[in-house]
Amino acid sequence: MTEEQQVNGQAETQARQAKIKELYPQLTKRNADFMHQFNRYFDTQAYKGDGQLLELTMLEDLVAGQKEGRTAQQLYGQPSLYAQTVVQGSREQPAYQGNNPFWHYWLEGGLFIGGLFAAVSGITMLLNSGNNADQATGLVTLILNFIFGGLAIAVLTKFQPDTSKPKGQQGLGRYIGVAVVTLIVWIIFITGSAVLIPSTLNIQLPAFVYIAIAALSFVGRWWFKKEYNIKSSIF
C-alpha cells in the first residue's frame, strides 16, 4: 500500500467516524438501545468484514427507517441474533425472520385464541340480550384458553412442515400427528375445566367486558407481531 493510499484510507475512516458520531444522536431511545446491545454482542465476535462500514450502514438505515415509523427490531430482529447472523456472513437474511423464540409464538397465539373466545362469548351474550350466560366462556376457562390455547398454537407453529425441502422430507406426517394430539389435549383440558370448575369460581362476565377483552387482545397481538417481526405464525 502506497503512502497516498494510506492517507486516503485514514481520511475515509475519519469521515465515517464523524458520520457515525453525527447519526447516533438522531436515533430514538429504543433504536439507540438496540445499537448498544448489538455492539456489546458484536464486539465479542470475530468479524472479518469492515465493522465500521457495517455500523455506519445500520445507523443510516435506522435513521431512514425512523422517518417511516420503523423500529430497529422491525428492520433487524433481535440484536444478538442479528449480530450472530452478520458474523456468520449472512447479513441479507436476519435470523429473526421465521425463527422467533418459542415464547413469542406462545404469547401471540394466546392473544389470538383468548381474544377469539372472548369475542364469541361477548357476541353470543349480546345476541341473546345477555339472558343466556351459560353459553359464555367462564372467566377461569377464558384465562386457561389464553394460556393453553397459546401453547397449542406455539407447538403447531414450531412443527410446521418445511416446504422448502423435497416431498417426503418436509415433516408433514409429523406435523399432522402433533396437530391431532395437541388439539385433542387442548379440547379435553378446556372442556374439563368448564365442567369441573365450580361456577362460583368460573364466573361469566358482562358482554361488554368480553368484547373489551377481545379488542385489547387483538390490538395487543397486532402490536406484538409488528414489534417483534413475527412472520411464520400459523395465523
Give per-residue pLDDT as tens, 3-53. Answer: 555 656 677 888 888 999 999 999 999 899 999 988 888 877 767 677 888
Rounded CA-CA distance 53/85 in Å is: 16
pLDDT at 80: 82
Of 57, 86, 95, 106, the residue nearest 229 (C-alpha): 95
Of 157, 145, 137, the residue nearest 189 (C-alpha): 145
Question: Which pTM value belongs to this model?
Answer: 0.57
Domains of the chain, by residue range, sit at 3-87, 102-227
pLDDT at 131: 52
> What average pLDDT does the segment 74-84 reach?
83
pLDDT at 121: 92
